[in-house]
């Protein structure tokens, strides 16, 4: 089975898009890993560890779905 560069590039682009949407979601919720008082490796959960509905949550879900579709194409 062969893989085409076009499909691989599509998966990479969708993965980057999903990660970008997650970053926006976290920043809009006030959750940042770049603050002085929080260690990135800490095991303590963020006080607002759940993200409720909203436009940023919907954007993450859409990007996740698009990534899933691109992964299906690469498996064919």
| 11 belongs to a structural domain | yes
Q: How many domains does the chain have?
A: 1
Which range of residues forms the domain containing residue 27? 1-31+53-76
User: DSSP string covering 44-68, please?
Assistant: SPPTT-S--SSHHHHHHHHHHHHHH
This prediction has a pTM of 0.74
28-65 pLDDT tens trace: 877 666 555 555 555 455 565 677 778 999 999 999 99
Task: Report the distance separating Cα 25 and Cα 61, nearest Å.
Answer: 11
| 48 belongs to a structural domain | no
Q: Which two tokens stand for residue 30?
A: 């006030």
Instruction: Give percent above pLDDT 70 in the chain.
Output: 74
| 36 belongs to a structural domain | no
| 26 belongs to a structural domain | yes
| 5 belongs to a structural domain | yes
Q: Which two tokens stand for residue 59?
A: 């954007």
| 44 belongs to a structural domain | no
């Amino acid at each position: 089975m062969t893989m085409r560069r076009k499909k691989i590039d599509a998966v990479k682009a969708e993965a980057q898009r999903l990660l970008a949407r997650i970053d926006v979601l976290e920043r809009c919720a006030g959750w940042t890993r770049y603050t002085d008082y929080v260690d990135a490796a800490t095991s303590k959960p963020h006080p607002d560890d759940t993200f409720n509905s909203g436009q940023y949550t919907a954007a993450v879900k859409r990007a996740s779905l698009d990534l899933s579709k691109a992964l299906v194409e690469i498996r064919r």
